[in-house]
Amino acid sequence: MKEIKPKEEKGIVPTKVHGLKYMSIVAYSGEKTLPLRGADVSNALIELFSVTIWDYLNFLIIDMPPGISDVTLDMIRFVKNIEFLVVSTPSPLAFETVEKLLTLLMELKVSVIGVVENMKMKQSPFIRQKVAEAGIPFFGEIPFDPKVEDALGNVDLLLRTDFAKKLAEIVSKCFSLPI
Model pLDDT for residues 86-143, shown as the tens digit of each residue: 999 999 999 999 999 999 999 999 999 999 999 999 999 999 999 999 999 999 999 9
Q: Is residue 68 part of a domain?
A: no
The more confident residue out of 109 and 78 is 109
Helix (H, G, I), strand (E, B) or coil at 131: helix
Q: Are 87 and 57 in contact (CB under 8 A)?
A: no
Whether residue 138 is found in the same domain as residue 158: no
Whether residue 140 is found in the same domain as residue 152: no
With cut-offs at 50, 70 and 90, classify the pLDDT of residue 29. Answer: confident
Model confidence pLDDT, tens digit, residues 92-103: 999 999 999 999
Whether residue 16 is found in the same domain as residue 52: yes
Whether residue 90 is found in the same domain as residue 132: yes
Whether residue 51 is found in the same domain as residue 5: yes
Q: Is residue 55 part of a domain?
A: yes
Q: Is residue 34 part of a domain?
A: yes
Cα distance from N-terminal residue to C-terminal residue, the chain: 26
The yes-or-no verdict on residue 66 having pLDDT over 80 is: no
Structural domains counted in the chain: 3
Q: What percent of the chain has pLDDT over 70?
A: 96
The yes-or-no verdict on residue 178 having pLDDT over 80 is: no
In this structure, is the dihedral angle defined by the CA atoms of residues 21, 156, 154 and 151, taken in order, positive or negative?
A: positive
